[in-house]
Amino acid sequence: MLEIKNVTKIFNPGTVNEKLALDNFSLTLEDGDFVTVIGGNGAGKSTMMNAIAGVWPVDAGKIIIDGVDVTKLPEHKRAKYLGRVFQDPMTGTAATMGIEENLALAKRRGHGRTLRAGISRKEREEYRELLKILDLGLEDRLTSKVGLLSGGQRQALTLLMATLQKPKLLLLDEHTAALDPKTAAKVLETTEFIVQRDQLTTLMITHNMRDAIAHGNRLIMLNEGRIILDIRGEEKKKLTVEDLLHKFEAASGEEFASDKAILG
Amino acid sequence: MNILNLLNAMPGAVAQGLIWGITAIGIYLTFRILDIADLTVDGSLCTGGAVCIMMMLSGHNVLVSMLAATLAGMVTGLVTGLFHTFMGIPAILSGILTQLALYSVNLKIMGKANQAINVDKYDLLVSLRYIKNVVFYKNPIFVVAICIVLLVLILYWFFGTELGCALRATGCNGNMARAQGINTNFSKVLGLMLSNGLVGLSGALLSQYQGFADINMGRGAIVIGLAAVIIGEAIFGRIFRNFGLKLIGVALGSILYYIVLQTVIWLGVDTDLLKLFSAVVVAIFLAIPYWKGKYFAKPVVKKGGSTNA
């Protein structure tokens, strides 16, 4: 479903701030894989996501989604294949537009935007039903401006928008990191529900090792722009946080330096 | 200081306010919806006026001339849009570049700095000569008001379409728009074209109304337009929630601006200072939301409340 082949990305090349963010990076996802991604700050997790999404061009390598080479496609053209939820709840939705208008924008992802109505009556009913899944009471607030919603509500809505058109690949970039633990758990639960229901191929970055172990069928750990751990299947099911820490130290030769990841 | 003089000047002020209202609606589209301060308008207003007058002087129908003026305005928006998106120049600077270039272009269109048109020889749609003692349907206030209602209806429809929604999303949150497959560069160019098309049309009406096109007629247009937007929002913002009504509010704001201007002139204030006053008033109104946020913001978490901890 997704093939990342030898991708390299260097930020600020030729300056003192030069940073090798992705170092000859390769990753292949099978159809239906749910891969959790962990790693310290600056490990290249978000860079990997942005490379897939096409936020900027990569310096070398290829990115293939569902057999289509998207390496040279701009961000808005790749959107056809991708559902994205961001770390910042403000990023995924348009605050000055209504809940139903945001959903209608997402519904048209991958289609041309014409002079047809931006939202139809039939869609409204569909959205009302879909919003019930979230169990946040949003189904009765279809015309409310998204700016009035809480961070958790916005993330849940963004998740719904990302999966409204079944994406080839769902990209979750620490989408629960900015939420309080209770809300985060709920959004994660909804994520699991939708991913299972639609059998979505998913890449989920998380700061939380427990979440990384509890979800998905495969776990990868990044460090300095490379994959240093790749655990799947039965082995992943038996994994504990301690195991992960030991494996990280063994693989990288340094201690894992994020309390949040261990304690969270 | 005869109050009758002021009252006599009012219909003219209202007509001018309405004509500028179309410019203000154009500025609302870029400033509020696209979140771009587009300085092209200082040039494109004159472009619209120049094209309209020159077309009419060479014997074209008034409506054809106004359509050409609108299209010319759209081209200026296209240029600014390409400066911004294709060439990566910041939006403000893109507008300034186009505006500067338009000074030469406008001079070339008109052949000189000022071109007059005689209301007796040409069939103008609006003229200050028609402001009194004519049948109501020839009165510029009536004509321009109808124009605005039609434009608002069209814009209301457009911003409800898929394309219009994409444009709104682009201005509100570019990251989100791109993630939903919207070509934000295209949206911005389209928005700038729409906006400057309206400004061109406004220039065409203004030049007919005053009976001439002048190279300086657009100077400060962005400030007048912003003033209208701000006045409209301040006074009608609480009651006009609907998008169409908001646009009407902006046009009404423009009328109020011209009524205030006329009153200030009537009070005997040195007219040389008018642009200074306009700039100061707009600066203060733009600062109010910022000051509100900075000095009068309510703390998000109240002190001592365990419920908020």
Rg, chain B, Cα only: 21
Which residues make Cβ contacts (< 8 Å) with residue B173, sequence separation at least 6?
A90, A91, A93, A94, A95
B95–chain A Cβ distance below 8 A for any pair: no
Q: Do B181 and A108 touch (CB under 8 A)?
A: yes
Pairing assessment for the beta strands A68-69 and A60-65 based on DSSP bridges:
antiparallel
Which residues make Cβ contacts (< 8 Å) with residue B142, sequence separation at least 6?
B136
Q: Would you state the pLDDT for residue A239?
A: 87
Q: Do A109 and B164 touch (CB under 8 A)?
A: no
ipTM: 0.90
For the CA atoms of A128, A134, A140, A142, the dihedral, rounded to the nearest 10 degrees, stands at: -60
Residue B301: inside a domain, yes or no?
Answer: no
Residue pair B215/B107 in contact (Cβ under 8 Å)? The answer is yes
Closest CB to B180 among A95, A96, A106: A106
Residues B124-164 have pLDDT tens digits of: 999 998 888 888 888 999 999 999 999 999 999 999 999 99
Residue B261: inside a domain, yes or no?
Answer: yes
Instruction: With cut-offs at 50, 70 and 90, classify the pLDDT of residue B237.
Output: confident
Has residue B301 got a pLDDT over 70? Answer: no
Q: Which two tokens stand for residue A165?
A: 């058109």
Secondary structure in 3-state letters for chain B: CCHHHHHHHHHHHHHHHHHHHHHHHHHHHHHHHHCCCCCCHHHHHHHHHHHHHHHHHCCCCHHHHHHHHHHHHHHHHHHHHHHHHCCCCCHHHHHHHHHHHHHHHHHHHHCCCEEECCCCCCCCCCCHHHHCCCCHHHCHHHHHHHHHHHHHHHHHHHCCEHHHHHHHHHHHCHHHHHHCCCCHHHHHHHHHHHHHHHHHHHHHHHHHHHCEEECCCCCCHHHHHHHHHHHHHHHHCCCCCCHHHHHHHHHHHHHHHHHHHHHHHHCCCCHHHHHHHHHHHHHHHHHHHHHHHHHCCCCCCCCCCHHHC
| Nearest C-alpha in B relative to A76 | B181
Residue B252: inside a domain, yes or no?
Answer: yes
Number of domains in chain B: 1
Has residue B308 got a pLDDT over 60? Answer: no
Please name which of A186, A174, A194, A161 lies closest in space to residue A93, comparing C-alpha atoms. A161
Quick check: helix, strand or coil at residue A191?
helix
Q: Would you state the pLDDT for residue B307?
A: 47
Please name which of A105, A53, A110 lies closest in space to residue A80, comparing C-alpha atoms. A110
Residue pair A154/A183 in contact (Cβ under 8 Å)? The answer is no
Give the burial class of A19: count Cβ atoms within 10 A of its Cβ; 0-12 exposed, 13-18 middle, 19 or more buried.
middle
> pTM of the predicted model, to two decimals?
0.91
Q: Do A94 and B162 touch (CB under 8 A)?
A: no
For residue B164, the chain A residues in CB contact (below 8 A) are: 118
Q: Do A76 and B173 touch (CB under 8 A)?
A: no
The per-residue b/e assignment along A247-256, b for 16 or more CB within 10 angstroms, e otherwise, is bbeeebeeeb
Percent of chain A with pLDDT over 90: 78
Residues A175-204 have pLDDT tens digits of: 999 999 999 999 999 999 999 999 999 999
Percent of chain A with pLDDT over 70: 95
Residue B72: inside a domain, yes or no?
Answer: yes
Q: Which two tokens stand for residue A144?
A: 């409310």
Instruction: With cut-offs at 50, 70 and 90, classify the pLDDT of residue B285.
Output: confident
Q: Do B177 and A116 touch (CB under 8 A)?
A: no
Has residue B309 got a pLDDT over 50? Answer: no
State which of B19-28, B257-266, B273-282 shows the largest mean pLDDT: B19-28
Q: Which residue has the tokens 């348009």?
A: A94
Q: Would you state the pLDDT for residue A35?
A: 96
Q: Do B179 and A53 touch (CB under 8 A)?
A: yes
Q: Would you state the pLDDT for residue A261?
A: 58
Give the burial class of B108: count Cβ atoms within 10 A of its Cβ; 0-12 exposed, 13-18 middle, 19 or more buried.
exposed
Domain span at residue B75 reads: 3-293
Please name which of A161, A39, A45, A8 lies closest in space to residue A94, comparing C-alpha atoms. A161
For residue A88, which phi and psi values (nearest 5 degrees)?
A: -80, 120
Size of interface A-B (CB pairs under 8 A): 84
A90–chain B Cβ distance below 8 A for any pair: yes
For residue B182, the chain A residues in CB contact (below 8 A) are: 76, 79, 105, 113
Q: Do A114 and B165 touch (CB under 8 A)?
A: no
CATH of the domain at B234: 1.10.3470
Residue B302: inside a domain, yes or no?
Answer: no
A124–chain B Cβ distance below 8 A for any pair: no
Q: Would you state the pLDDT for residue A203?
A: 96
Q: Do B173 and A109 touch (CB under 8 A)?
A: no
Give the Å distances, CA to CA, from B261 to B145, B168, B267, B270.
20, 33, 10, 12
Residue pair A218/A231 in contact (Cβ under 8 Å)? The answer is yes
- Probe site for chain B from A75, A81, A90, A114 (most B CB atoms < 10 A): A75
Pairing assessment for the beta strands A34-39 and A68-69 based on DSSP bridges:
unpaired
pLDDT under 50: residue ranges of chain A: 264
For residue A202, which phi and psi values (nearest 5 degrees)?
A: -135, 140
Has residue B306 got a pLDDT over 60? Answer: no
Residues A64-92 have pLDDT tens digits of: 999 999 999 999 999 999 999 999 999 99
Q: Which two tokens stand for residue B178?
A: 């791109």
Has residue B3 got a pLDDT over 60? Answer: yes
Residue pair A151/A179 in contact (Cβ under 8 Å)? The answer is yes
Residue B123: inside a domain, yes or no?
Answer: yes
Shortest distance between the Cα of B257 and any Cα of chain A, in A, equals: 27
Please name which of A236, A248, A232 lies closest in space to residue A33, comparing C-alpha atoms. A232
Has residue B298 got a pLDDT over 90? Answer: no
B300–chain A Cβ distance below 8 A for any pair: no
Residue B307: inside a domain, yes or no?
Answer: no
Instruction: With cut-offs at 50, 70 and 90, classify the pLDDT of residue B252.
Output: very high
Residue B304: inside a domain, yes or no?
Answer: no
B191–chain A Cβ distance below 8 A for any pair: no
Q: Do A161 and B178 touch (CB under 8 A)?
A: no
B158–chain A Cβ distance below 8 A for any pair: yes
For residue B160, the chain A residues in CB contact (below 8 A) are: 117-119
CA-based torsion, B141, B147, B149, B151: positive or negative = negative
Residue pair A153/A84 in contact (Cβ under 8 Å)? The answer is no
- Probe site for chain B from A105, A116, A120, A155 (most B CB atoms < 10 A): A105
For residue B178, the chain A residues in CB contact (below 8 A) are: 75-76, 79
CA atoms within 13 A on the CB side of B2: 4
Shortest distance between the Cα of A241 and any Cα of chain B, in A, equals: 29
Instruction: With cut-offs at 50, 70 and 90, classify the pLDDT of residue B36.
Output: very high
CA atoms within 13 A on the CB side of B44: 37
For residue B179, the chain A residues in CB contact (below 8 A) are: 53, 75, 79, 82, 84, 86, 92
Q: Would you state the pLDDT for residue A212?
A: 92
Residue pair B27/B44 in contact (Cβ under 8 Å)? The answer is no
CA-based torsion, B231, B233, B236, B238: positive or negative = negative
Q: Do B181 and A80 touch (CB under 8 A)?
A: yes
For residue B163, the chain A residues in CB contact (below 8 A) are: 113-115
